[in-house]
Amino acid sequence: MLKAGSKGRWALVALVALAAGIAAFFASRVILAPERPTLPPTSQAVIPAVRPDLSLADRDGQVRTLSEWDGKPAIINFWATWCAPCRREIPMLNALAHDPAYAEFALIGIAIDFREDVLRYLTTTPIDYTVLIGEQEGLDAARAFGMESIGLPFTVFTDKTERIVTVHVGELHRSQAEVILSSVRAIDTGQIDLKTAQDRIRSGLPKID
């Protein structure tokens, strides 16, 4: 684990500053994979077509890999304790985690934050789904998903074959999640293909308040 003052801490400080500067631009944007997203000129982000596999420690210190959820559609939410919209999302994500209508979806939160801060936060704010924690490792995980220079939160949605269907950048609301999850489910049940699902998400989300 990186200590205060280390390269990892400076990277996190830089991420905070970057997030503050571009938060308005990225509010409620959607990036559809594997197409190249429209990002600020300083970013070279490219969303991979398939979910990368990576390993991070959970709240108990056990190293977990995303491949544990292979074969399940997934919601992968990147967040931090210092991020206000991230904190606002948590009750909605908890509700999704408990909703039997979405029982087939794995829900994983990846905290790009200092481990001690996350564990302290969890003592007062219950999170009812898997939480993985990483400082530099968390930043590396975000980059593996193509998010090279982007603010938090962002949420990755994958189908049951680990293809990335969409990445929602900014605070996620229940109505938006339901549009995306219904499209992912339609892929998994063979009703539509990936491109049709992405078109549905692209056209459907702007209609949501």
- What are the strands, taking DSSP E only, across the chain? 29-31, 55-58, 63-65, 74-79, 106-112, 130-134, 154-158, 164-169
**75: which strand partners?**
107, 157
Put simply, whether the predicted model's pTM sits higher than 0.85 gets the answer: no
CATH superfamily of 7-207: Glutaredoxin (3.40.30.10)
Interval 158-200: pLDDT, tens: 999 999 999 999 999 999 999 999 999 999 999 999 999 999 9
User: pLDDT at position 148, please?
Assistant: 75
User: pLDDT at position 47, please?
Assistant: 92
User: pLDDT at position 14, please?
Assistant: 47
11 phi and psi angles, rounded to 5 deg: -65, -40
Q: What span, in angstroms and rounded, lies between the C-alpha atoms of 11 and 121?
A: 21
* Per-residue pLDDT of the chain in tens (209 residues, 90 and over written 9): 434 444 444 445 444 444 433 333 333 344 444 333 333 443 456 899 999 999 999 999 999 999 999 999 999 999 999 999 999 999 999 999 999 999 999 999 999 999 999 999 999 999 999 999 999 999 999 999 999 776 899 999 999 999 999 999 999 999 999 999 999 999 999 999 999 999 999 998 865 55
User: pLDDT at position 151, please?
Assistant: 86
DSSP run (H or E) holding 16 = helix 7-26
> Hey, is 164 helix, strand or coil?
strand
Q: Which residues contact 172 (CB under 8 A, 6 or more apart)?
A: 77, 89, 92, 93, 153, 155
In this structure, what token pair is assigned to residue 75? 């919601």
User: pLDDT at position 45, please?
Assistant: 64
User: pLDDT at position 13, please?
Assistant: 41
